[in-house]
Amino acid sequence: MKRICMFFAFITSLFSSKAQTDKQYPAYTGKDLGLTFVKNNASFRIWAPTATQVKLRLYNQGLGGEVVQTVDFQKAVQGTWTAALVGTHLGDYYTFKVEHNGVWLDEVPDPYAKAVGTNGKRAMIVDMQKTNPTGWAADKAPALKNKTDAIVYELHVRDASIAANSGITQKGKFIGLIETGTKNNEGLSTGLDHLVDLGITHVQLLPLYDYNSVDEADLNKTQYNWGYDPQNYNTPDGSYSTNAADGAVRIREFKLLVKTFHSKGLSVVMDVVYNHTGTTNESNFNQIVPGYYYRKTNDGKFSDASGCGNEMASEKAMMRKFMLESVLYWVKEYHIDGFRFDLMGIHDIETMNLISKELHKIKPSIILYGEGWTSGGSSLAEDKRAVKKNTIQLDKVGVFSDDIRDGIKGSVFEKNDRGFASGKAGMEESIKFGIVASTQHPQLDYTKVNYSKAPYAKEPYQTVTYVECHDNHVLWDRLLNSNPNNTEAERTEMHKLALSIVLTSQGISFLHAGTEFLRTKKGVENSYKSPDDINEIDWSLKTKNKAVFDYVQGLVRMRKEHPSFRLPTTASIKANLRFIDNQPAGVIGYALNGAAVNDSWKNIQVWFNGNSSSQKIKINSSGWKTAISNNKFEESIISNMIILNANSCVVIYKK
């Protein structure tokens, strides 16, 4: 009886605590937080339920200068405060200042700010209609029938153009990425033309929202960052614009990038970082509602699953609301086609599914995926979070496959470790797991997969198949670490084999910028703030490694032309992909039934040899032709035997 009483007392305390929290932090249900600008009238609504006073401060410029006007907010419904301006204030800058427990906190921009000035220190009153480029209303994303049709190319805005040999005039800028006719010193295409020539479908841009670490007031000094330190989530970063001081310029120029990419057949994916803020106590969120937006540990400290000092509490009503309204804003205002969620394993499943549901209502072709892990422990229970093993609970949201990534090249945490493509034994089942996009397949022995001991994807589009990204060593540098005694020619074949696996496997294919011509970062593993000479794309490598570019371009074209390599459902993979058993160690072969999916290749076989020696494979029937012969596109008729060179891919087919 005593235990029952204690149990009911515990439950009662939980409900009491929740009621107290709801009373202290009532959720606002309206959709007008931040600035509303209509017909030159500016009104503001801020959610600050624990504030005792709120003031709006107006400035004539984004940095420096005196306050030109102060306006008191009035307390309103559901923890909000409102204010309005009389007269024309278009182009003015503003901040909020909140009093909390008798103490005035630092003035900060509106957390919902859609335009900011230099360094994002002040929000800006902008008429968004006037930021639209000509023809914006008619802008449409390229068609995407199935999510597995996506071939994503990860690119940093600055890296693409900053090198002297890029041939691009507006270096490091959004509009530099829309220049056409640009060439390297040897006359090969660079920038946008290169992306179109390569044939990828989606460009995933590393963080392009306003981030904290680059000083926009002095862009001539040496500075660089990937941008994983968010400051203002709903406006582009000023360092990528031609005028960081005018908040409207960065908006217009990024919209022009999206429109131009769309016209060239390229969709745009944003890399978003809602899992933490660049600063903690000083963040816009914390200066408005101290402590609310972040998770805390039992001892009251900031939980730090991000490894950056804090983690956002996506399960809280107003943080969930912020994330949802933010992504909806980027899609509606900027026509964004997808999102990559940084450290998605920090976010709760319910929030991710809500985001997916609402985004798919307005853009059914949108692709959503993220990192199904964290950088540390979280105060939110793992079974509630969007980690990789919970992918099956996610609705139309995918995760990166570290299984196939490390299966191909070795563990990212052991720089000398090898993978299947670089000669490590026993990785066959991990590669097969990636080939079927982490789904259920009757021929797999899941006990032998490197990390996941069970399928976690309901459908293949929930797996992003990759071997490298901005994090850790690029593939070329990694192969030098793991295979220092091999020749450059041998490592080149390993590199080509690795990309062959990525681009012939099911799921969503993902390439890191420059991998198609053996990009190097000169051995630097974590280049998040390394200078340009480490991060820039050296376009001379396209000339030096033109044969590799041609091969990867061919892989992309083959994937796009043949639906057998991008089956849309788990059922289709089970029915039409069969592994060819009883092969030598280090050899993987599988057959695809192209006839069943209206492929012009009615039968296909794909072969990978991860060994350092060649292998002979007997083919049981005649009439086969090669599409890829040992990492080269060449067509020839074969009889009943194929030779797999060391570290090579062979693809054969029948029409």
Which DSSP letter does residue 258 get? Answer: H
Pairing of strands 338-341, 367-370: parallel
CA dihedral 130, 131, 136, 137 (to 10 degrees): -40
Distance CA 466, CA 408 (A): 9
- Is the Cβ–Cβ distance between 94 and 132 less than 8 Å? no
Q: What's 473-494 look like in SS3?
A: CCHHHHHHHHCCCCCHHHHHHH
- Is the Cβ–Cβ distance between 475 and 406 less than 8 Å? no
Q: Which residue has the tokens 């290749």?
A: 601
Q: Tell me how crowded residue 167 is: count the other CB atoms within 10 A of its CB.
A: 20
Distance CA 132, CA 589 (A): 51
Active site residue 371: yes
Distance CA 383, CA 391 (A): 11
The H-or-E segment that residue 558 falls in is helix 546-561
Pairing of strands 625-628, 80-84: unpaired
DSSP conformation letters of 78-96: GGEEEEE--S--TT-EEEE
Q: Quick one: tokens of 495?
A: 């590199």
Helix count (H) and strand count (E) of the chain? Answer: 15, 26
Residue 194, SS3 per DSSP: helix
- Which of 623, 648, 627 lies closest to 638, judged by CA? 623
**309 conformational bin, left if phi > 0, alpha if psi -120 to 50, beta if neither:** left
> Per-residue b/e over 192-204, b at no fewer than 16 CB within 10 Å?
bbbbeebbbbbbb
- Catalytic residue from among 110, 179, 246, 371: 371
Q: Quick one: tokens of 320?
A: 């969930």
Distance CA 563, CA 358 (A): 29
Q: Tell me how crowded residue 573 is: count the other CB atoms within 10 A of its CB.
A: 22
Pairing of strands 103-104, 93-100: antiparallel
- Which of 333, 337, 326 lies closest to 360, judged by CA? 337
Distance CA 398, CA 611 (A): 31
- Which of 420, 419, 407, 408 lies closest to 450, judged by CA? 407
- Catalytic residue from among 342, 348, 493, 536: 342
Active site residue 333: no
The set of long-range contacts for 484-493, using a CB threshold of 8 Å and a minimum separation of 24, is: 490/612, 490/646, 490/647, 492/518, 492/545, 492/548, 493/631, 493/645, 493/646, 493/647, 493/648
- Which of 575, 588, 570 lies closest to 651, judged by CA? 588
List residues with catalytic annotation. 342, 371
